[in-house]
């Protein structure tokens, strides 16, 4: 008999915390006159 197992995946929330989101939004509002990249926004979260 052939048994097929399905791998299980663990879901982890990798979203931003409320504090991190607020940091990014503040940065965006402060720099509205500039073109911002995703990399630049991510750098605001590196502690």
Q: Using one digit for the tens of pLDDT, what is the confidence trace for 3-42? A: 777 767 666 667 888 999 999 999 999 999 999 999 999 9
Return d(Cα 43, Cα 26) in angstroms, integer. 13
Task: Classify residue 19: in a domain, yes or no.
Answer: yes
| Cβ–Cβ < 8 Å for 42, 22 | no
Cα separation of 41 and 23, whole Å?
Answer: 9
d(CA 44, CA 47): 8
- Residue 28 belongs to a domain: yes
22 domain residue, yes or no:
yes
- Whether 35 is in a domain gets the answer yes
- Three-state SS at 32: coil
Within a domain: residue 6?
no
State residue 21's pLDDT score. 92
4 inside domain: no
Q: How many domains does one find in the chain? A: 1
Confidence of residue 46 (pLDDT cuts 50, 70, 90): confident
Is 44's pLDDT higher than 80? yes
Angle at 13 between CA 12 and CA 19, to 5 degrees: 145
Q: Which domain holds residue 35?
A: 15-47
Does a structural domain hold residue 40? Answer: yes
- 29 within a domain of the structure (yes/no): yes
């Amino acid at each position: 008999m052939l048994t097929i197992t399905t791998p299980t995946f663990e879901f982890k929330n990798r979203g931003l915390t409320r504090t991190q989101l607020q940091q990014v939004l503040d940065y965006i509002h402060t720099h509205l006159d500039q073109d911002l990249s995703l990399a630049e926004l991510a750098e605001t979260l590196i502690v």
